């Protein structure tokens, strides 16, 4: 009995510590957004009164509407296109198997291990020769065929019952109709999970937009936050406020799709 | 088929596919830029950005056709973008002018020959502090228009020192050993430690070392560590201070500035750009003074003059407006003394143009520093800072030194530390 209590206490204690570690940075970020830079520096960790002033300072430095519009265009377009292209590919790799395709898939998985920084320079040359430098297309295009998402959809497709396809075939559906009317609706939670992953990756993408976007009017939120940190004496209140604002869209997407996300990660098929 | 041809082929196919629809967008932005708009990349909205904006406005007044577009991009981002685009050999995204930190300049100059316009061809570089010009000189030509100086001084709390029986004269023309003696007395009498230091930042070490004309690298590329008497003496002085309990060890920039704005430590040996931070506490007005840096004991060529940090303007050779850019730098940055008074007053920026000291703002005394003519002093020291070759591996060398600072502070053997620094540096630059 005593042992059980100790065990429980230990479990709760370690969970509390883990919770604290994951929650505290968020708490610090939100609280920091309401404080003056000077207070943040001295470690003030209670809600302050400087939120409005921070917001005004941010607006004075940044065209917030434009920046959010840029980030939204990039993230939404990237999400829609990536899901369309990569889910088709993942489905195809799993359903229409052949030895050659298996080889191609293995090569793709190998490519996953090459860091982006190594591909950046040749990719930039390509984009620029195609006259796409400083366009959103240049930001979105290289992410559309995402190997990770292809892999993810292939794994999820393994749980897609062959009987459903057979039944659809008997009913006279063509292959693209099977994908669109049978596969897609039954994989909703997989799509939801992929939406969160792709949207978050795209929204938070930093290195590639940094290289390929050149003018102020094209900057996405990550680039703007980076430029806010450029001063020799940074205004931490403004930086943390912009970080809070930048976190909101991904948080909203996550909470809206949370249930499906968990199911999607578990690989269930409805 | 070589790589270049392959890329061309691929790109041209691709552009036919996509270019027809998308190129229109790209072209649109390209033509929207007015024929004489100069784009500048720099990074601090309180410092170099307003300075450049002011310079631009002065030029536009006499040359209405030339306007300026000053972009705020962080220093790391600038390095990343420049490096990728120069490496890719694609220049359409590059600005006309860019700000580069001095100790990072040789890396760009040597890695990308021809990427920058040699400004010494058209601008008289003797007008500027010679060590700033040397930082951007490669194969006989100088490529930068020297901007802000990091000329060093010893900022100190005269009230604390007074309590320990020391006056301003006791800090003029002293050595680090003498400062350690003063610091020990101050700590005994007032409880304040002498100075604060982040052991992840070797700023104080490089100031000590450069004051003798030595650097971590010989000729810019060969490690100059084990036989570097100046470096050894610097590390010894640092160790003595740490062992005597005079160094408050702090972590990060905010802790660092907090340690003296709060009145905790008695002195700040630092580049002139720290002035603004020190003056951010109006209630301490009159308590501060600035002395020349102490000299290293027993090292050849030791002086009271050194530098920490600072950056300079570069014109990219790929710019379509290099003539205008050079003329702009020559007219305003290399000629307008009045302009330098403005950026000194408004941004606290000490430029590198030696003639700037003849302006009114430079001659003014500052009550915050007890009525001392601090700017005249700094500009005196500025002209005497020994030149060093920062070379291409300064960041690697600094990292290697920083790795040993905690051990040295704790009383570790300096010769062993030098060996370890040398080893790490050689490994990094292989």
Is residue A35's pLDDT more than 80? yes
**In this complex, how many residue pairs, one in chain A and one in chain B, have their CB atoms less than 8 Å apart?**
109
* Alpha-carbon span B132 to B311, nearest angstrom: 9
Residue A259: what pLDDT? 82
C-beta atoms of A137 and B74 within 8 A: no
Partners of residue B312 on adjacent β-strands: B100, B146
Q: Are A220 and A70 in contact (CB under 8 A)?
A: yes
Is residue B328's pLDDT more than 70? yes
CB contacts of A28 in chain B (<8 Å) are none
Domain A63-231+245-266, CATH among 1.10.3720.10, 1.20.1050.10, 2.40.160.20, 4.10.520.10 = 1.10.3720.10
CB contacts of A126 in chain B (<8 Å) are 7, 10-11, 14
Partners of residue B72 on adjacent β-strands: B42
Residues 6+ apart with CB under 8 A from A231: B43, B44, B45, B46, B47
* Alpha-carbon span B11 to B198, nearest angstrom: 49
Residue B252: what pLDDT? 81
Is residue B33's pLDDT more than 60? no
Render pLDDT for B139-148 as a digit per residue (tens, 0 to 9).
Answer: 999 999 999 9
Q: Which of A107-116, A224-233, B293-302 has the lowest mean pLDDT?
A: A224-233
Task: Among B47, B77, B90, select the one facing A125 at the smallest CB separation.
Answer: B90
Task: Among A120, A122, A133, select the one facing B26 at the smallest CB separation.
Answer: A133
C-beta atoms of A226 and B75 within 8 A: no
Q: Hey, what domains does chain B have and what are their CATH numbers?
A: 3-149+310-363 (3.40.190.10), 151-307+377-429 (3.40.190.10)
Q: Are B246 and B183 in contact (CB under 8 A)?
A: yes
Q: Which of A123-132, A207-216, B9-18, B314-323 has the lowest mean pLDDT?
A: B9-18
C-beta atoms of B258 and A124 within 8 A: no
Backbone angles phi and psi of B101, in degrees to 5: -65, 140
* Alpha-carbon span B20 to B37, nearest angstrom: 28
Mean pLDDT, residues B33-61 taken together: 89
Residue B87: what pLDDT? 92
CB atoms < 10 A from the CB of A264, how many? 23
* Helix, strand, coil fractions of chain A, as percent rounded to 5: 80, 0, 20
Render pLDDT for B60-79 as a digit per residue (tens, 0 to 9).
Answer: 999 999 999 999 999 999 99
Q: Are B151 and B385 in contact (CB under 8 A)?
A: yes
Residue A1: what pLDDT? 64
Residue spans of the domains in chain A: they are 63-231+245-266
Residue B6: what pLDDT? 45
Q: How many CA within 13 A on the CB side of residue B122?
A: 16
Task: Among B23, B45, B89, select the one facing A131 at the smallest CB separation.
Answer: B23
* Structure ipTM: 0.83
Q: What is the DSSP letter of B175?
A: B
pTM for this model (two decimals): 0.84
Q: Are strands B97-101 and B307-315 parallel, antiparallel or unpaired?
A: antiparallel
* Alpha-carbon span B427 to B430, nearest angstrom: 6
Q: B308 vs chain A: nearest CA distance in angstroms?
A: 14
Q: Are A136 and A205 in contact (CB under 8 A)?
A: no
Mean pLDDT, residues A87-97 taken together: 94
Residues 6+ apart with CB under 8 A from B264: B192, B193, B196, B248, B258
> Which candidate, B178, B241, B149, places its Cα nearest to that of B204?
B241
Task: Among B74, B90, B258, select the one facing A229 at the smallest CB separation.
Answer: B74
Mean pLDDT, residues B79-86 taken together: 93
A residues 104-143 lying closer than 8 A (beta carbon) to B: 120-122, 124-126, 128-135, 137, 141
**Helix (H) / strand (E) containing A130:** none
Select from A38, A43, A125, A236 the residue whose CB has the most chain B CBs within 10 Å, as the one to mutate to test that interface: A125
Strands, E assignment, B212-297: 217-218, 222-223, 247-250, 267-271, 288-291
């Amino acid at each position: 009995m005593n042992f059980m209590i100790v065990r429980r206490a230990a479990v709760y204690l370690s969970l509390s510590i883990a919770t604290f570690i994951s929650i505290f940075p968020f708490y610090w970020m939100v609280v920091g957004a309401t404080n003056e830079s000077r207070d943040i520096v001295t470690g003030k960790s209670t809600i302050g009164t400087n939120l409005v002033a921070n917001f005004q300072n941010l607006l004075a430095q940044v065209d917030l509407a434009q920046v959010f519009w840029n980030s939204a265009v990039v993230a939404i377009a990237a999400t829609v296109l990536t899901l369309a292209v990569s889910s088709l590919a993942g489905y195809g790799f799993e359903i229409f198997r052949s030895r050659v395709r298996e080889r191609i898939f293995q090569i793709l998985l190998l490519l996953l291990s090459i860091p982006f920084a190594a591909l950046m320079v040749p990719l930039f040359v390509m984009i620029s020769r195609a006259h796409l430098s400083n366009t959103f297309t240049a930001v979105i295009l290289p992410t559309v065929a995402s190997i990770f998402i292809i892999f993810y959809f292939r794994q999820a497709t393994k749980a897609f019952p062959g009987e459903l396809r057979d039944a659809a075939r008997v009913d006279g559906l063509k292959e693209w109709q099977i994908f669109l009317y049978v596969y897609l609706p039954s994989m909703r939670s997989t799509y939801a999970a992929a939406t969160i992953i792709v949207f978050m990756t795209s929204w938070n993408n930093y290195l590639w937009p940094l290289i390929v976007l050149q003018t102020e009017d094209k900057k996405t939120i990550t680039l703007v936050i980076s430029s806010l940190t450029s001063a020799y004496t940074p205004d931490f209140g403004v930086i943390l406020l912009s970080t809070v604002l930048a976190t909101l869209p991904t948080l909203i997407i996550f909470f809206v799709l949370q249930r499906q996300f968990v199911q999607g990660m578990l690989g269930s098929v409805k | 088929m070589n790589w270049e041809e392959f890329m061309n082929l691929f790109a041209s196919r691709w552009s036919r596919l996509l270019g027809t629809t998308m190129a229109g967008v790209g072209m649109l932005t390209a033509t929207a830029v007015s024929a004489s708009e100069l784009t500048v990349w720099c990074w601090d909205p309180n410092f170099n950005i307003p300075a450049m904006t002011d310079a631009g406005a002065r030029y536009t007044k006499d040359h209405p056709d030339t306007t300026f577009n000053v972009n705020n991009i962080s220093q790391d981002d600038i390095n990343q973008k420049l490096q990728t685009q120069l490496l890719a050999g694609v220049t359409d995204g590059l600005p006309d002018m860019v700000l580069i930190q001095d100790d990072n300049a040789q890396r760009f100059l040597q890695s990308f020959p021809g990427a920058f316009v040699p400004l010494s061809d058209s601008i008289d570089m003797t007008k500027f502090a010679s060590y700033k010009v040397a930082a951007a000189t490669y194969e006989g030509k100088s490529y930068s228009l020297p901007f802000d100086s990091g000329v060093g001084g010893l900022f100190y709390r005269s009230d604390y020192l007074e309590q320990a029986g020391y006056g301003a004269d006791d800090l003029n023309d002293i050595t680090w050993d003498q400062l350690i003696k003063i610091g020990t007395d101050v700590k005994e009498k007032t409880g304040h430690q002498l100075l604060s230091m982040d052991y992840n930042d070797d700023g104080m070490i490089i100031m000590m070392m450069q004051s003798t004309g030595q650097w971590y690298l010989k000729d810019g590329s060969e490690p100059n560590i084990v036989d570097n008497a100046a470096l050894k003496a610097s590390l010894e002085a640092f160790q003595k201070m740490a062992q005597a309990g005079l160094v408050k060890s702090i972590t990060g920039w905010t802790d660092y500035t907090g340690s003296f704005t709060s009145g905790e430590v008695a002195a700040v040996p630092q580049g002139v750009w720290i002035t603004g931070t020190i003056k951010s506490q109006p209630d301490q007005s009159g308590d501060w003074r600035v002395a020349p840096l102490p000299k290293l004991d027993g090292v050849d060529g030791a002086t009271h003059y050194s530098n920490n940090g600072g950056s300079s303007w570069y014109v990219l050779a790929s710019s379509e407006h290099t003539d205008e850019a050079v003329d702009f730098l020559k007219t305003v940055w290399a000629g307008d003394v009045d302009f330098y008074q403005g950026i000194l007053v408004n941004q606290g920026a000490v430029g590198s143009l030696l003639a700037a000291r003849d302006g009114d703002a430079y001659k003014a005394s500052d009550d915050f520093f007890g009525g001392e003519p601090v700017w005249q002093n700094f500009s005196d020291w500025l002209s005497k800072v020994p030149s060093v070759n920062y070379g291409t591996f300064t960041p690697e060398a600094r990292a290697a030194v920083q790795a040993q600072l905690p051990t040295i502070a704790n009383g570790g053997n300096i010769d062993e530390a030098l060996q370890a620094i040398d080893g790490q540096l050689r490994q990094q630059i292989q």
